Structure 1
Amino acid sequence: MFSNNNTILKTGDWIKAESLEGELIIGYIESLSSIEGIVKVRVVTSDNNQAIGKTIPFLSKRVKKLPVSNVTNKSQIEFLLDLALSTGDKEWFLALSAELNAMKQLVNGVH
């Protein structure tokens, strides 16, 4: 974990960055090297389809941490479940599944 322009970066944070070729990269931090100031980012989406799924190193000062979003509806949770599956994040998938199940139980209790 280290600081980047008054923002603390840590493994698992979602970021956006621009590649040296000017392509937009959105992904999450897989690892950090505080000695070199480098973050390794797993690319989830990009202007360059060939970069998707790859891990790319960036200088920490070239990435911007994305704000944590609050999930508010079923379709958002379902989208994030798909994302958790595609990234292989079992813990996140289970947490989202529990949240979706709680939402379904709440709706069923209202009827």
Structure 2
Amino acid sequence: MRAEERKQVNVGDWVKLQSNKGERIHGFVEKQLEEENRVQIRVIASDNHLLTNHSIQVHVVKLQVEPDSKYYTLGELEQLIDLALQTNDKAWFDALSDQYNYLKKETEAKRHIDYTQVN
């Protein structure tokens, strides 16, 4: 078995790939499938808009696992909040909303310049 066939992909990993038609796909692993080296991913963004918010099954060799990030942008949080609403996950929605509101407040505070302090 080649090394790329043994690629380790876990549920929850953010991944990206390119379809056979050249369409870029970005999403996260929903579950491992019984069939060896295949996973089901939830598509969050794609050049093919018909795939967005749907699940697809792919071979792990095609996947590029995204590095973990502790921080999200406002845009990423908006997408995750939409996903939490679609999945009816109230706890996740509440946690994401808190992060979003905090980050938005911090971002707006940094844009505000106090000209009285400038010499």
Partner of residue 95, structure 1: 95
Using the size of structure 2 for normalisation, the TM-score is: 0.63
Using the size of structure 1 for normalisation, the TM-score is: 0.67
The answer to whether the 8 A contact 1:26-1:43 is kept is yes
Provide the aligned length of Structure 1 versus Structure 2: 101
**Deviations, residues 36-80 of structure 1 (Å, cap 9, x unaligned):** 21011111110011111221111111101112223266x357423
**Deviations, residues 7-31 of structure 1 (Å, cap 9, x unaligned):** 6421121110111111100011111
Q: Which amino acid is 2:44 matched to?
A: V
The alpha carbon displacement at 1:99 in A equals 3.7
Calculate percent identity across the aligned residue pairs.
Answer: 31
Structure having the higher strand fraction is: 1
Return the alpha-carbon distance in structure 2 between the equivalents of residues 5 and 76 of structure 1.
34
Q: Which structure has the bigger radius of gyration?
A: 2
Within-5 A mapping of 1:7-26: 8-26=8-26
Partner of residue 84, structure 2: 84
Matched position secondary structure for 1:94: helix
Matched position secondary structure for 1:26: strand
Matched position secondary structure for 1:39: strand
Partner of residue 60, structure 2: 60
5+ long unaligned stretches in structure 2: 107-119
Return the alpha-carbon distance in structure 2 between the equivalents of residues 12 and 20 of structure 1.
24
The alpha carbon displacement at 1:5 in A equals 7.5
RMSD between superposed Cα atoms in Å: 3.2
Q: Which amino acid is 1:66 matched to?
A: E
The answer to whether the 8 A contact 1:31-1:39 is kept is yes
5+ long unaligned stretches in structure 1: none
Matched position secondary structure for 2:50: helix
Return the alpha-carbon distance in structure 1 between the equivalents of residues 70 and 96 of structure 2.
12
The alpha carbon displacement at 1:95 in A equals 2.6
